[in-house]
């Protein structure tokens, strides 16, 4: 399994999360069901925020809310004193609906719409991260109309190669995100935005990719970004803010590193130390540092519980075990062959002498959750849990095949509660004319 402090196997051989037996969760809420451990989320927020404060000083952790966005998560992270990174009007709206302090939000996106930009400015979002010339023009006009000056950053591309699956790597020169530093594009756009009367360009942003374990890639990004800050300083442009994005890796399955909450603090510590010495060496002002972890805050906090349906044994080839979920609640295998650990939630101590491919119920051959899972013999009606589904599962879910998106239950101190209610068939036809 992973190292989540509150994921345990109890004396009945059943999986427990946050002190709650998954059998009880299945009985109370049914399946498929997303379950999230609130304490894990809070521990991660606290450890990130404390480490940034103690090891660096001025800065802010912004939870990348595209990983898992709903009203309750904005309440939780706000209680933990951290900000949010948002990528759409819908995420901004959700945050605003629970009174989230909008000045602690960074708005991203390579193609924010006019309405999204208006909404962000009206709601006094802290930072808008620009990703094109015309976006700068549009935003400048909107701000002029509303009589405000908006703090902005520009997304740049430091050209750091992070070791991860290429589909989720975003900082290469060929990327739909950001302006390349090496090609000179970044310098051009900095000068362009500097001239905008209603935009206050306070710094730059980069996000080198996702599911990255190597600290070195982040340190390299610090070097490239501070080199560029130094270059700009020499031509008379100085910045107060540096946003280095997110991307810290989590444990999904064998081959991934297992880290405790506390070990995640080391990423922040290493980045902080590298940045402090870089600014000193290069004669820069120490910038306000923004970091945007998403996956590592919620990913390992979540599991998904399913009921096993048909089991198809194809002699000499493989055994498909079909669950009552699939790509509509977790499209990550279908999208980029993401790996997961699957366990027999109510039979954790049994000998794992079977190999199954876990298939979803959608009409799509690619609707697989995990391949080659080592599990005990499983029968129809039993339950399996897929681990580390807290990030990019609910947030990527859909009603494909008009399946219902499962509800989300939060557990803490042995208690559970809905944070997202189950959908109904009524919900599916609500907007149909």
Ligand X SMILES: *Cc1c(COP(=O)(O)O)cnc(C)c1O
Q: How many CB atoms lie within 10 A of CB 2?
A: 17
Whether the bond into 32 is cis, omega within 30 of 0: yes
363 labelled catalytic: yes
Cα gap 263→372, rounded to integer Å: 30
Helix (H, G, I), strand (E, B) or coil at 354: strand
Residue 51 tokens, joined: 């480490």
String marking each residue 91-110 x if it binds ligand X according to CB under 6 A: -----------------x--
Catalytic residue from among 70, 143, 363, 373 = 363
- The interface with ligand X within residues 330-349 (CB under 6 A) comprises none
Q: Which of 138/395 has CB closer to ligand X?
A: 395
- The interface with ligand X within residues 190-219 (CB under 6 A) comprises 207, 210
Q: Which of 63/356 has CB closer to ligand X?
A: 63
Does 67 bind ligand X (CB under 6 A)? Our answer is yes
Cα gap 128→139, rounded to integer Å: 9
Check: CB of residue 407 under 8 Å from CB of residue 29. yes
Q: Which of 109/326 has CB closer to ligand X?
A: 109
Helix (H, G, I), strand (E, B) or coil at 373: strand
Out of 14, 259, 295, 412, name the contact with ligand X by CB under 6 A: 295
String marking each residue 248-277 x if it binds ligand X according to CB under 6 A: x-----------------------------
* Nearest Cα residue to 85 out of 242, 289, 290, 292: 292
Does 294 bind ligand X (CB under 6 A)? Our answer is yes
Does 35 bind ligand X (CB under 6 A)? Our answer is no
Does 64 bind ligand X (CB under 6 A)? Our answer is yes
Cα gap 19→41, rounded to integer Å: 15
E strands of 299-424, at which residues?
302-314, 318-323, 342-344, 354-359, 368-375, 383-387, 408-412, 415-420
Out of 89, 126, 159, 293, name the contact with ligand X by CB under 6 A: 293
String marking each residue 234-253 x if it binds ligand X according to CB under 6 A: -----------xxxx-----
Give residues with Cβ within 8 angstroms of 143, minimum separation 6.
121, 149, 150, 198, 199
Among 15-23, 68-76, 282-290, 292-300, the segment contacting ligand X (CB under 6 A): 292-300
- The interface with ligand X within residues 110-149 (CB under 6 A) comprises none
Q: Which of 257/427 has CB closer to ligand X?
A: 257
Which positions touch ligand X (CB under 6 A)?
A: 64, 66-67, 85, 108, 207, 210, 245-248, 292-296
Active site residues: 363
């Amino acid at each position: 399994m992973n190292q989540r402090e509150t994921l345990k196997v109890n004396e009945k051989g059943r999986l427990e999360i946050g002190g709650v037996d998954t059998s009880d969760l299945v009985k109370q809420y049914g399946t498929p069901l997303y379950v999230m451990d609130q304490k894990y989320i809070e521990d991660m927020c606290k450890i990130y925020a404390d480490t940034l404060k103690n090891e660096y000083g001025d800065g802010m952790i912004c939870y990348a809310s595209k990983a898992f966005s709903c009203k309750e998560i904005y309440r939780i992270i706000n209680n933990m004193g951290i900000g949010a990174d948002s990528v759409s009007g819908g995420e901004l709206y959700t945050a605003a609906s629970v009174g989230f302090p909008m000045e602690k939000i960074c708005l991203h996106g390579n193609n924010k719409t006019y309405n999204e930009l208006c909404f962000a400015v009206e709601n006094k979002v802290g930072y808008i991260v620009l990703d094109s010339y015309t976006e700068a023009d549009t935003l400048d006009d909107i701000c002029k109309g509303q009589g405000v000056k908006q703090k902005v950053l520009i997304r740049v591309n430091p050209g750091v190669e992070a070791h991860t699956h290429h589909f989720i790597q975003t900082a290469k020169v060929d990327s739909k995100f950001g302006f390349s530093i090496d090609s000179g594009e970044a310098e051009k756009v900095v000068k362009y935005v500097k001239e905008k009367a209603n935009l206050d360009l306070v710094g730059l942003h980069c996000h080198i990719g996702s599911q990255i374990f190597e600290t070195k890639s982040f340190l390299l990004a610090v070097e490239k970004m501070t080199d560029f800050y130094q270059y700009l300083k020499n031509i008379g442009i100085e910045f107060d803010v540096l946003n280095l994005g997110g991307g810290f890796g989590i444990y999904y399955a064998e081959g991934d590193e297992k880290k405790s909450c506390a070990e995640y603090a080391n990423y922040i510590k290493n980045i902080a130390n590298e940045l402090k010495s870089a600014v000193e060496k290069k004669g820069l002002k120490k910038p306000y540092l923004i970091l945007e972890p998403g996956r590592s805050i919620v990913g390992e906090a979540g599991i998904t519980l399913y009921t096993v349906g048909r089991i198809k044994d194809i002699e000499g080839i493989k055994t498909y075990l079909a669950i009552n979920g699939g790509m509509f609640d977790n499209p990550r295998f279908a999208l980029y062959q993401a790996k997961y650990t699957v366990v027999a939630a109510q039979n954790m101590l049994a000998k794992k002498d079977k190999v199954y491919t876990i298939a979803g119920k959608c009409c799509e051959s690619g609707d697989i959750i995990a391949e080659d899972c080592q599990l005990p013999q499983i029968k129809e009606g039993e339950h399996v849990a897929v681990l580390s589904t807290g990030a990019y599962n609910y947030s990527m879910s859909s009603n494909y095949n008009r399946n219902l998106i499962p509800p989300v239950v939060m557990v803490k101190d042995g208690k559970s509660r809905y944070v997202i209610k189950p959908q109904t068939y009524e919900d599916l036809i609500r907007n149909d004319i």
